[in-house]
Amino acid sequence: MPRVIFVTPDGTRTEVEGVAGDSVMATAIAHDIVGIVAECGGSMMCATCHCYVEDAWSARIGQRSDGEEEMLESAACEVRDTSRLSCQITLSSDLDGLVVHLPDAQT
């Protein structure tokens, strides 16, 4: 089971176990992670699951899709090179230990 480490803006780290094939967003919701709102439920229709992937993991998760780029334009917080929609990151054994940082706000 791939582990995901969520880091809040104040530096608090919460490590949870996910399920391969689930999204990072679904994992956050299943574990009541504060900071992932997911208003659209993962259909890439909002940017309320915005996160920052730690640099070391960027190559493993791949690039943003064009649709993801568009949605991030409406993110409530600064969009960075490491910004992703957590609904678009699918967990696998290759992502065991993935570290994602949460923005200050989602809406």
What average pLDDT does range 30-42 have in this prediction? Answer: 95
β-strand 98-101 against 3-7: which pairing, if any?
Answer: parallel
What average pLDDT does the segment 66-79 reach? 95
Average of per-residue pLDDT across 84-94? 97
Place of tokens 């990151």: 89
Residue 64 is assigned to a structural domain of this protein: yes
Per-residue pLDDT band for 107 (boundaries 50, 70, 90) equals confident
Residue 45 lies in a domain: yes
The enclosing domain of 56 has a CATH number of 3.10.20.30
Spatial CA neighbour of 17 closest among 9, 7, 27? 27
Q: The whole model's pTM is what?
A: 0.95
Is 23 exposed, middle or buried (CB count within 10 Å of its CB: 0-12, 13-18, 19+)?
Answer: buried
Mean pLDDT of 63-78: 94
CA dihedral 86, 13, 60, 38 (to 10 degrees): 0
Note down the domain range covering 48: 3-101
Domain annotation covers residue 107 = no
Domain count, the chain: 1
